[in-house]
Amino acid sequence: MTVTLLLEQMFNGLQSGVMLFLIAAGLTLILGIMDFVFLAHGAQVMIGAYAAASLTALTGNFLVGIVLAIPITFASGFLLEFLLIRHLYRRDHMDQVLATFGLILFFNELIRIGFGPAALFSDLPKALSGFVNILPDAPYPMFRLVVIIVGLACAIGIHMLVSHTRVGAMVRAGANNEAMTAALGINIRLLRRFVFAVGACFAGVAGMMIGPLTAVEPGMGEPLLILSLVVIIIGGIGSVRGAFVAAVLVGMVDTMGRVLLPVILRSFMGQAAADGAGPALASMMVYILMSLVLVFKPTGLFPPKG
């Protein structure tokens, strides 16, 4: 394996990590900071992907599709909080798990009824389908660079929102002591609804970014949900910085595992055995990483202070 290829694969790992962060970012807000177990986050990703793909098809313009889809995902989060989630904050985590697991089934079925069970057509706009030479002789799809930029922008945005704005301070205060925060004259209910909607919006943006790369189909969010839960646990629940570092770490480990493990195994066992064991082991790497982190740092890499 050449150095160029190794560097390119590390870049792939970074990109896959940033994409993971996009999905985990909203979950950090909802699960980490608001302390609400929300399993239907993958469904929010799906809603974003469907909204963008169908609006792009309708308007014939990718950018217009995205711009119109963002308010839709925000509104869906806002409505969902108003109709259901707000009744669940005081319940214990098991109730939240059950209710939001039900939401997964509900949304998947809703999409199936509305759009049919087939995958939706979604492709890149011509302007973003070119290549960039990140390294000599390593053309890289331009859209994947856009994904990295959007992911980094979201990381900075969410970090600023939580740590450097009054809204962020109020949210953190509300999560810490609801009664006291309300007593200080802050409309904690509205604030929660806003944060929840922002979280849904981040998930939606993740869906819009993934849509052109993968199949837009019912249930597309669930595999992503599991990985983003892993990211949040590794990073330390509630830490934006932790989620970012963990997402990049998970992306790297997953990518390098897939690429390197079969090669390494082949050097000391038979071709057939290595071809079988390599992918199996590679798919476990992320979870092995999580177990190791939990053994040595049970609260994650960057547990939030306080």
In angstroms, give the least distance from the CB of 117 to other proteins. 4
Can you tell me the distance from the alpha carbon of 165 to that of 132, in angstroms, rounded to the nearest whole number?
Answer: 36
Which of 141, 303 has the CB closer to other proteins?
141
Structure tokens at 84: 């259901």
- Please identify, using beta-carbon distances, which residue of 181 and 255 lies nearer to other proteins: 255
* CA atoms of 107 and 99, how far apart (whole Å): 12
Residues 66-95 that bind other proteins (CB under 8 A): none
Q: Is 24 in the site for other proteins (CB under 8 A)?
A: no
* Tokens representing residue 158 in the block: 């969410």
Site for other proteins in 137-166 (CB under 8 A): 138-139, 141, 143-144
CB of 186 to other proteins, least distance (A): 41
Instruction: Using the minimum distance from each CB to other proteins, give the nearer residue, 174 or 278.
Output: 278
Site string for other proteins, 204-233 (x = CB under 8 A): ------x-xxxxxxxxx--x----------
Single out the residue of 120, 253, 286, 301 in contact with other proteins (rule: CB under 8 A). 120
Cα-only R_g, the chain: 20
275 binds other proteins, rule: CB under 8 A = yes
**Integer Cα distance of 3 and 113 in angstroms:** 49
Residue number, 156 or 215, with CB nearest to other proteins: 215
Residue of 258, 261, 286, 304 that binds other proteins (CB under 8 A): 258
Binding site for other proteins (CB under 8 A): 1-2, 4-5, 8-9, 12-13, 15-16, 19, 108, 112, 116-124, 129, 131, 138-139, 141, 143-144, 210, 212-220, 223, 255, 258-259, 262, 271, 275-276, 278-280, 282-283
